Structure 1
Amino acid sequence: MKAIRYLLFPFAIIYDFITTLRNLFYDKGIFKSTEFDLPVIAVGNLSTGGTGKSPQIEYLIRLLKDDYKVAVLSRGYKRRTKGFIVLNDRHNAEDVGDEPLQFFSKFKEDVTVAVDADRTNGIQQLISTVNPEVILLDDAFQHRKVKAGYYILLTKFNELYCDDFILPTGNLRESRRGSKRANSIIVTKCPEHLSEAEMTTIRKKLKVGDNQKVYFSTIGYNKQLKGSENITLEELQDKDLVLVTGIANPDPLLAYLKKNELRFTHINYPDHHNFTDSDISKIEKTLNSIVSEKKLILTTEKDYMRLQDKISNLVYISIETRFLAEEKLFTSDIVDFIKG
């Protein structure tokens, strides 16, 4: 696979030229970028998938929902509908995408969640229909038709954008130069006990600007699982599990389950997978093949959004962003931006 990627290096150079030219045209005002009067916060990355955008959006929702009227706008990746949609209880993952449905399911009493591939139109529709005080844009770092007031750039601890290369040789959607648009850079999925010396080394590697701040976060797993039954992580230890994942990188979850001495058979699918009848049959067949009477299907929260209406005996484990240092500095920076 790596050899093929190196062979595609000439295409990476062409892609780099195209994306750099596009960004230059936006920077110079040749391409139009719309700015709005209300605070707009964009969360995104330079690389493809798996940096922790969803838990970061949820972190911001928890931070802001009690003091501001918040709306979340996503494109609704892999949904089968088009245009602007405000989520309600009748929608499923096929209608609006798994991540927006996840936001809605957890925070429907607190925020408005909408989808629109055209973020400019989506923001305009939100302003005219619900009049939010703050808008959070999910996965919008490259969506330059909207000029957000504050950009949060995520990069994984073990795959920093400064160590990567542009597609298709590497995983970057655009050159690492794009990081200069970020107000805050969050290194995600860090080890829980990352030292200050290691943080300092990473800050130097990222070569951030004087007005940019770098933060470090890790993924926390919720020990209370939900789904067809409410069960704790400890109660799973006497069960045989079928783990079903359709996420970009399931390795951290696998490591966490092994660390907690859980027994499981793993069935892995691509990120944002649309589960077919054949997939469901395979999952159920795998579960039925387990001799033990104490058995259960375990999945991620995002995959649960796609599986909940298709399969029973299913629970999910949720995750959340946890800052390792300077959390108060990050939250005060966000609130100060909103207050203007």
Structure 2
Amino acid sequence: MITDYSERLIVQEVSPRDGLQIEPTWVETVDKIALINQLSQAGFSRIEAGSFVSPKAIPALRDGELVFKGITRQPGVIYVALIPNLKGAQRALACNADELNLVMSASQTHNLANMRMRCEDSLAAFGEIVAFVHGTPVRLNASIATTFGCPFEGKIDEDRVLHIVEAYQELGIQGITLADTTGMANPRQVERLVRRVLQRVSPADLTLHFHNTRGLGLCNVLAAYEAGARRFDAALGGLGGCPFAPGASGNICTEDLVNLCDEVGIATGIDLPLLLKLSRGLPALLGHEVPGQLAKAGRNCDLHPVPS
């Protein structure tokens, strides 16, 4: 275990995409745009702003084009789009997405449920996308869903994950995300696998994506950071979950993560008071409470008057 927390932790905010994709109440396009614009002012260098999937599959995000065309882009912020296939890549490039995020599962069963195809077919489709974006400034990132466990198959062999990492790299995909889709990871497992992956992938190209399904999300962040990872997905308010993964609760909460970093001395460059303001506005936007803890409890520096 390290005690040197001097290197910056990069937070990629995913609430506009991963956070909103399973919301049962429609969030108006203008409200999505306003949320992204506010997040762009909070110090994030990366925001997953939407997706270009079939509206039948994810109706909550059917306005991807309008969102990407409507946001006010801030210098230095990378706006990421999730895409399922070549058609999605074409739509995303037409809307000037800065980076495309592709997804395949380490689990064959989950990939069939999520993408309706076998893993080898997903890899073939990724090759078409790589060829399509070649020569453009658009960067590609590929996620490995169910990296740390599958709700259908259970444990995932680490060598299987490493094989997929190498397959992505052979295609020419530089960015890699290890996704704990249903919150099955534990810190020892995370530290071990991250160290192995970092023998093949630069810390600047590796993202960790944790869910807090079993309460270990922030523990896993620290384990991954101590193993050398420096970039993490998180969602405002702890929103999100996978519609094709039973029991998947929200992503790790952005403001809770930034607060943890502040408390232990890891720099993020994120405006925590602004995050709290935005998080506290989510119940009115969505019509329900959100899982994040800090917005409810307040920061340690928020002192209270002594009872009379």
Bin the TM-score by the shorter chain: 0.3 to 0.5
The structure that is helix-richer by fraction is: 2
Between structure 1 and structure 2, the one with the greater Rg is: 1
TM-score for both structures, normalised by structure 2? 0.34
TM-score for both structures, normalised by structure 1? 0.32
The structure that is strand-richer by fraction is: 1
